């Protein structure tokens, strides 16, 4: 049985930190940060590049699903609309898979605080705050399990997901 695990959330909510911690907890695990598919210069978002990125994400996830070595496949991305998740899922070979979908959510104050720390470290630019806050509400409406990351670390969020995937109390 394979466990594709989708983790989404707005920019700065703690997806990457959570996924890196989760990768340490789960056996036979790979972590795919789907932002990598958008790491281009110039950064161009249009129908062609969106489709290419979705093709690349689903291709790689499918390869890990069919690989006998990996049991847990973590896929992390902003995915700020339900139709994006649905599109990726429609492209996957889900035979012999137990799919998990999580949204990391939080209130505005801790989100802005986290992004400001990233700005100070040179990881993000100031314009991310407004875009990230504007998308925050979308995640509460998605067909996913919600994890409130307002007052917990990436490690604590990873433990919640780990317990859900491993069916432990």
Q: Say yes or no to pLDDT of 49 above 50.
A: yes
Q: Where do the structural domains in the chain lie, given as residue ranges?
A: 3-167
> Is the pLDDT at 167 greater than 70, yes or no?
no
Beta-carbon contacts of 16 under 8 Å, excluding residues fewer than 6 positions away, are 33, 76, 154
Instruction: Kindly tell me if the per-residue pLDDT of 169 is higher than 70.
Output: no
The torsion defined by the Cα of 52, 84, 135 and 155, in degrees rounded to 10, comes to -90
Q: Span 54-72, mean pLDDT?
A: 95
Of 78, 61, 80, 79, nearest to 70 by C-alpha is: 61
What is residue 35's predicted lDDT score, i.e. its pLDDT?
80
Q: Does residue 15 contact residue 9 with C-beta atoms inside 8 Å? A: yes
Q: Residue range 96-110: average pLDDT?
A: 95
Distances, alpha carbon 10 to alpha carbons 27, 28, 29, 49, 166, in Å: 27, 27, 24, 20, 26
Q: Would the pLDDT of 146 be above 80?
A: yes
- Reply yes or no on whether the pLDDT at 96 is more than 70: yes
Percent of the chain with pLDDT over 90: 80
Buried b (16+ CB within 10 A) or exposed e, 133-153: bebbebbeebebeebebeebe
Give tens-digit pLDDT for 110-126: 999 999 999 999 988 89
The per-residue DSSP string of 79-136 comes to --SHHHHHHHHHTS--TTB--EEEEEE--HHHHHHHHHHHHHTTSS-TTHHHHHHHHG
Q: What is the reported pLDDT for 42?
A: 87
Tell the CATH superfamily of the 3-167 domain: P-loop containing nucleotide triphosphate hydrolases (3.40.50.300)
User: What whole-number distance in Å separates Cα of residue 101 and Cα of residue 89?
Assistant: 11
Q: What is the pLDDT of residue 45?
A: 87
């Amino acid at each position: 049985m394979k466990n594709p695990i989708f983790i989404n959330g707005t920019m700065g909510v703690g997806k990457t930190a959570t996924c890196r911690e989760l990768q340490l907890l789960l056996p036979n695990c790979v972590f795919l940060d789907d932002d990598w598919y958008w790491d281009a210069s110039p950064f161009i978002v249009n129908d062609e590049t969106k489709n290419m990125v979705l093709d690349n994400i689903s291709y790689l996830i499918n390869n890990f699903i069919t690989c006998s070595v990996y049991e847990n496949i973590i896929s992390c991305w902003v995915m700020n609309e339900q139709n994006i998740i649905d599109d990726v899922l429609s492209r996957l070979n889900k035979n012999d898979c137990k799919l998990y979908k999580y949204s990391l959510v939080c209130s505005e104050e801790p989100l802005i605080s986290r992004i400001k720390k990233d700005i100070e470290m040179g990881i993000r630019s100031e314009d991310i705050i407004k875009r990230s806050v504007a998308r925050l509400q979308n995640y509460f409406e998605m067909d996913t399990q919600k994890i409130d990351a307002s007052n917990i670390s990436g490690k604590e969020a990873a433990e919640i997901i780990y317990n859900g995937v491993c069916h432990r109390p």
